[in-house]
Amino acid sequence: MTSAQIRQSMTDRSVNSRSALSRIPLLRTLRDGSGFDVTLVLCAVGYLLVFAAFPLVYTLVMSLQQVDMFSLASFDRPFAGLDNYRDVFSRPEALQILKNTVLFVVLSITFQLGIGFGLALFFQQSFPGATYIRGVFLAGWIMPALVVGAIWKWILAGDFGVLNYALTSLHLTGGKIFWLSDPDFALFAVIIANIWLGIPFNMILLSVGLAAIPRDLYEAAEIDGARAGRRFLHITLPMMRSTLGAVVSLGIIFTLQQFDLIAALTKGGPANASNVAQYWSWQMSFETYEISAGSVVAVLMIALVILVAALYVRSTEREHAA
């Protein structure tokens, strides 16, 4: 066979392979451009299945099995069913950690929302340097939680902390308070640090919601004689309902995910006084290697997050329908 015949044969094979590929529907749509969006969706779905759905399902499965450090690499594990859940709830520290988690979430969300809303309203006013001052608040939000924890550990130190120095200088306390080692104050110390960390995020989202309210409504209400309080109650709050719902929902989710701050400040101590569900799950899984028990707590937290997200989506759907 001559070289010309060989080249012709290779050309024919290439044409035949291209025609065969062109008969595949997805590849044919990619060639004319209509299947590109489908490919992007499939990539996103594949990513969620591998990195989100599979870990969630695997955690659920482990919560129903007897898994420890010796059986973690094996799929031959005894089935425990709901015994793992009964074991977790029957532990003496479970009730205290549940109360700590509820208190941690409620106080954090309440003060983050309240202070963030106040700052958002404040920065809606026109005054020199408002943009730059608002940017200073964002500096705390972009800092890693471990760094924030280290800073607050210095502030809350019992012997040389800035907070104790300020309180004693103002004669507000009779002596030093050991915020991080006293069981009566450890949880509140973590809550204070978490509130400080979450305020900028709340302020940003609420500022966006406030900016979307038409100025004409306020001007018309002011002409009609409505004072600032009535304008806030009858214009700002109703118009901010969806934004407030989003901020509260995201705040609950982010607070339940808060791990670094607790690890940097108290590590759940002393004697579980500042321990919360997410840190307890990590302790059981990676410190005592009770992986089944840690998976149980993780599954319960996932269920709570899904419930919060579902309530938020349902409320927004009703608002849009109205």
Cβ 236 vs Cβ 210: under 8 Å: yes
- Mean pLDDT calculated for residue range 209-232: 85
The pTM is what? Answer: 0.83
The encoded tokens of residue 127 equal 């005054």
Query: Does residue 10 surpass a pLDDT of 60?
Result: no
Give me the amino acid identity at 294.
G
Q: What is the pLDDT of residues 255-273, one digit of tens each?
A: 998 999 999 999 998 999 9
Q: What is the pLDDT of residues 55-87, one digit of tens each?
A: 889 999 999 989 887 787 777 888 888 999 999
Q: Of 85, 51, 54, 76, which is closest to residue 292 (Cα–Cα)? A: 85
* 78 upstream amide cis, omega within 30 of 0: no
The encoded tokens of residue 274 equal 């500042």
Query: Does residue 223 surpass a pLDDT of 70?
Result: yes
Handedness of CA 178, 183, 189, 194 (dihedral sign): positive
Distance in angstroms (rounded) separating the CA atoms of residues 286 and 278: 12
The encoded tokens of residue 261 equal 């701050």
Q: What is the pLDDT of residues 132-146, one digit of tens each?
A: 777 777 777 788 888
**Res. 174 pLDDT band, cuts 50 70 90:** confident
Cβ 139 vs Cβ 250: under 8 Å: no
